[in-house]
Chain A
Amino acid sequence: MLTHPTAQALVEGVAAWLPLDGSASPFALRVARNALDIAARDMALGPAADERAAQRIAAILGQTGSRDALDRALVASIRAGTIAPDDPRLIAHLVASTLDHLAIDQPRYVHELAAD
């Protein structure tokens, strides 16, 4: 799951801020709409992306669990050096998960990732 902020925190943030007196600037309203669009894409695409990521990480680590638990285990393995940062299986996973993150967060970002 994408955090910092979570989809829920984005929606709550818009609700906590949204002024009811018409004082919001067009720029601030555009930012708020963007925040809600990100949250909506996260809700629509996040669960399947998490499922795919969990399967890939499980295959790398040889253990099962939720995506969040597996992400923590993967970070610990990279940090400990048991998985090298240029391990081809890791890079294949990072390419796939990063494309999923962009589809949720910044679908129009022009990047140089090569999909396998």
Chain B
Amino acid sequence: MTERLDEATVAARLAALAPRLVADATGVESLRRLTGGASMATFAFDVTVGAGAAVPLILRARAVAPDPDSPPLAREAQVIAAAIAGGVPAPEVVHVCSPDDGLGEGYVMRRLIGETLGKRIATDPAFAPARDVLARQCGAALARVHTTPPPPGLDTVNAAETLARYERIWRQSGAVRPAIEAAFRWLEAHLPRVPATPRLVHGDFRNGNLMVDADRGLVAVLDWELAHIGDPAEDIGWICCNSWRFAQAHARVGGFGDLDDLLAGYVAAGGDPIEPARIDFWQMIASLKWGVMTMQMHRSFADDPAAGPERGVIGRRLSEAEADIVALLQRASRPC
């Protein structure tokens, strides 16, 4: 059982660690907990180096005992290091915590400056210059992810197994929705006949996990915890999913750009060309995953309604996933 770390403890232990994070460190200041998930804690802090200078860093640590299914954070750090070596812009990992550090399971990385709020990136007028270049930059970053030799120990995920797993969860929900049934059968019928050459896949490449500068565009690709080995089209379908377009449905890539620009950047950076049909396939899986997830939310609402209606309301967002799936079925049945 990992202890839950309070800020004072983290501050003291980071201060002890500081000389190993930054040469000539004199101390740690401005420690603050950032918003994060229930199982992970993320802290921002600065390591001071003499008069007035500071190095901005992030600590990512497991806040509670790890779920046995979740991969070790040290592996996530290895993936980031491999991706950076492969030319992907990502926050450099400066230290992987050992038990002696007293910080639990975690690692320290550089803190970069940029916007991560997907809605601002997709809609804020100040980000118009970024939107002109971002899809192409995302394509180049993805090409480099997909040509990076994966570090050892990553799971391999393929489309057929993903579908089978989600269909089991769907059946357990008991929901009767012809659109979702049609999606499972359509995807089954359109499984890639030639399996993709397995590549390093980011696994959560979407608007919301990108750090963006308003003028220069992509600063870094974040949130590598779902990295795995699989079909590179999975990452492209994921960022095209309408759930992440922030009401900018016309901009297929993350609500900020066009798929043609992403694919041009992808091929120019050395990625193997990817057929559009394969991207549609993975985009439908993305919407289907979101739809199945809404039913898991409904389950917890049904089990404990007094906890509040939030998860029940998320259950009613199945209709969004359904609309996105049916739009893809409609388009696939009318080739233009």
Contact = CB atoms under 8 A, between A and B. Distances in A.
B269 to A, nearest CB: 28
A64 interface: no
B310 interface: yes
Interface string B292-319: 0001001001100111111011011111
Nearest to A34: B313
Interface in B218-251: 242, 245, 247-249
Interface in A32-59: 32, 34-35, 38
B267 interface: no
Contacts of B242: 110-112
Of the candidates B178, B247, B249, B317, the one having the most CB atoms from chain A within 10 angstroms of its own CB is B178
Interface in A57-76: 68, 71-72, 74-75
B181 A91 contact: no
Interface string B269-310: 000000000000000000000000001001001100111111
Given A28-B308, A81-B185, A91-B333, 19 more contacts: A3-B176, A4-B302, A5-B312, A10-B316, A12-B305, A17-B309, A31-B310, A35-B312, A78-B178, A78-B185, A79-B185, A86-B186, A94-B326, A101-B319, A105-B318, A106-B317, A109-B323, A111-B242, A112-B324
B176 A114 contact: no
B116 to A, nearest CB: 21
B76 interface: no
Nearest to A24: B308
Nearest to B248: A110
B197 interface: no
What interface size band does chain B fall in?
35 or more
Contacts of B176: 3, 68, 71-72, 75
Contacts of B306: 13, 16-17
Contacts, number: 151
Interface of A: 2-5, 9-10, 12-14, 16-17, 28, 31-32, 34-35, 38, 68, 71-72, 74-75, 78-79, 81, 84-86, 88, 90-91, 93-95, 97-99, 101-102, 104-106, 109-114
26 contacts: A2-B319, A4-B174, A4-B295, A5-B302, A10-B309, A10-B313, A13-B309, A13-B312, A31-B313, A71-B178, A78-B182, A79-B181, A81-B185, A85-B183, A91-B330, A94-B178, A98-B322, A98-B326, A104-B319, A105-B317, A106-B320, A109-B320, A110-B245, A112-B242, A112-B324, A114-B327
